[in-house]
Structure 1
Amino acid sequence: MAGKMHGSISTSPVTDEVQEIVQSLKDRIEEELKRKVEFLHALLHRAQVVAGINYFVKVVYVAGNAAECIHILVIKPMFGQKPSLVKIETNKKLSDEITYIV
């Protein structure tokens, strides 16, 4: 089932916690995109509970005069460790469904 989420994980509005996690990863996102981001906002997310939580997040960002949409995979480990950015999928549209990122 390539591209499909495992289990019954539904898409949800972004919580304050998810938005804070995305903001905390701004430097890493800029590093991966190889560009400075002026605005970063999470729109929707899916959460998968494993040994921690995998967040699959639809994010809109503004860089220069362009607004773009990306999907990111963030892992938030158990026991208070900091979340980490695992992967970014670029060239996404606002209408694209959030899928399982490997």
Structure 2
Amino acid sequence: MAGKMHGSISTSPVTDEVQEIVQSLKDRIEEESKRKVEFLHALLHCSQVVAGMNYFVKVVFVAGNAAECIHIRVFKPVAGEKPSLVKFETNKKVSDEITSFG
């Protein structure tokens, strides 16, 4: 189900590309969360065209016996550079709406 995010940007189901981007950031997510991540799954995302692409992604991860929901902001440059984790928000619920941040 698509919804609105910050005006004209709407949420979309996760594509293989977005899931691959999230997986590629596993080490950074572990660093930011200070936890060993055993499983990452992107649920929804929004994208925003800038000088590259901003992705705002709702992610569920499992660390130990606990599952957590986080929102991440990822920047993917236009020219071949790797995506980078820009910002990380914790204490999110699966039902929380994705909004643009940071």
Q: TM-score, normalised by structure 2?
A: 0.93
Q: Give 1:16's aligned residue.
A: 16
Task: Name the % identity.
Answer: 85
How far the C-alpha of 1:17 sits from its partner, in A, is 0.2
How far the C-alpha of 1:7 sits from its partner, in A, is 4.1
Amino acid at match of 2:10: S
Q: Give 1:68's aligned residue.
A: 68
Q: Give 1:26's aligned residue.
A: 26
Amino acid at match of 2:39: F
Tell me if 1:93 matches 2:93: yes
Q: TM-score, normalised by structure 1?
A: 0.93
How far the C-alpha of 1:100 sits from its partner, in A, is 1.0
Unaligned runs of 5+ in 1: none
Amino acid at match of 1:88: F
d(CA) in 2 for partners of 1:84, 1:40: 16
Alpha carbon RMSD of aligned pairs, Å? 1.2
Q: Give 1:35's aligned residue.
A: 35
d(CA) in 2 for partners of 1:87, 1:26: 14
What SS does structure 2 have at the residue aligned with 1:80? coil
Amino acid at match of 1:81: E
Amino acid at match of 1:39: F
d(CA) in 1 for partners of 2:5, 2:86: 16
